[in-house]
Amino acid sequence: MLGTNVEWVDSGDNLLRWNTLTFDPNMVSLVQSMGPTVLRYPGGNQADVYDWSRGIGPLSARGTNLEAPSKQSQITYMGTGELLELSQTTGAIPLITVNAVTGTAAEAAAWVQQTNVTGLQNAAGRALPKVVYWEIGNEPYYTDPSNPQSGTCQLNPLVYATRINAYAAAMRAVDPTIKIGIALSSERYNGIQVVPTPCANYAVNVLSNLTQSVDFVSLHDAYLPYAISGDDLPANEEYYATMGATQSIQTDFAAMRSLMQRFPAVQGLPFAITEYNALFSFKSGSPYYHSMASPMGGLFIADALRFFASRDDVLMANAWSLSANDHWGAIHGPTTSQNPYGRPDYFVFSLFSEALQGVRLTANVRSPTFNSPSFGFSAAAIQLPIVTSLVTMNGAAPSQQTLRILLINKDYSNSHLASVNLSNASAISAHLSLLTAPDVLQTNDLPGAMSRSESDLNIASGVQATLPAHSVALLTIQLATESP
């Protein structure tokens, strides 16, 4: 669930020391404490023009690749070996998106050969991990960025299906144990068209022409709430639209699951949310543009993670993105005057890395409710719980059992008292880890936008904790019996 995205450009979005093949230790330290579990590479639309063979071997042997939006060439410092070394260092699983737009099936198969058969080593000669998970294409259904006025898709659905079949066959011929995913999308979110008309019925046409088996379906349906032209809400309403956006993800999951039921080859496949974030606008002049890096954006990440982790049909979820990358990265890269630091997403990931342990339990939550207004791709919803939760437990023996209750208080202005009923169990001790923000709407992108505090709870009268407005809390409770 705690996956993220790593781009090859700009020295891996500042992960490497500039113009070298060595990692910045300050960046790696932050990545390790953030706790990502999957690293997707080479990064979104960068994958559509990426030649992996130019990022292999010593620096003297490296070639250049095109940075997708600018079409400017850069030396490929953050290559496949660097991805796998970072995976090994952090314990994260690598996921590679092969180039289905300007690449070929033979190139993709050669990439599998290099990582999983020939193998790669780090500078010290240590073998680097193989790659199990592979994704064919990034967002083939969106408008062709090389001709945005055309209204055509990057890959016609019949072309994409043909390439899936060719790529999957060639890649599995090299390593039959790999897991392969394909990129699909609904055509409307909240009644708004997101796939161009010339590519109508995109997912249906792809699935109708699929002859090779695949292992998961990649969705990018959690970039929310995403303001569109004419959207103009007061700040607190924008906030509640963001806090209700996971309801729209659930709606799209149901729609995609219903569509997949029509095609036996993909009926039971899990979803991989290979990109998501709190997205408000792509327009730099929009008042919503920088809200992604706000604590409000961090709370959306928290509730999306809670939602993904509560389901059995989500294979992985990869936030966009790990570092630097304008205001997108969870870790702000170093500058000439400042060391790297964690944005709100970073603090949320670190807390979730502690919460997502053991097994998931079912919790009954009684909470006040709120109404979420329609905003862009996020639909209006009523009577949503103001406090959402995720509960996990690990430990075999009674004296070792730990209950973890993650609580998100979405209330814009008010604190709430959380009272935990353990039924036929009792608590030995309880600890509160709390993420708070002085200003949940702050968009200045500076250190301190969100902070974490720790406290031990007095449990003489039961386990209770105050949840400040717009906060994320983790209650860690040591149990005395086996049956919470």
Residue ranges covered by each domain of the chain: 3-355, 359-479
All residues at 6 or more sequence positions from 369 whose CB lies less than 8 Å from its CB, including other chains: 382, 383, 384, 385, 386
* Residues 64 and 101: beta-carbon distance below 8 Å: no
Q: With b meaning 16 or more CB within 10 Å and e meaning fewer, what string describes 271-284? A: bbbbbbbbbbbeee
Summary count for the chain: helices (H), strands (E)? 10, 26
CATH class of segment(s) 3-355: alpha beta
CATH of 359-479, one of 3.40.1410.10, 2.60.40.1930, 2.60.40.1180, 1.10.238.10: 2.60.40.1180
Residue 231 DSSP symbol: -
pLDDT of 196: 78
* Residues 431 and 438: beta-carbon distance below 8 Å: no
pTM of the shown model = 0.96
pLDDT of 484: 47
Surface-to-core class of residue 385, CB atoms within 10 Å of its CB (0-12 exposed, 13-18 middle, 19+ buried): middle
Handedness of CA 73, 220, 256, 261 (dihedral sign): positive
Handedness of CA 191, 196, 278, 351 (dihedral sign): positive
* Residues 384 and 398: beta-carbon distance below 8 Å: no
Residue 291 DSSP symbol: G
Other Cβ atoms within 10 Å of 423 Cβ, number: 9
What does pLDDT average to in each consecutive run of 10 residues of the chain (484 residues)?
98 95 96 97 96 96 94 96 97 98 97 98 94 97 75 90 98 98 95 85 97 98 85 85 97 97 96 96 73 93 98 98 93 90 97 96 94 94 97 76 96 97 88 97 92 97 96 95 55
pLDDT of 300: 97
| Distance, C-alpha 234 to centroid of its chain | 28
d(CA 470, CA 480): 32
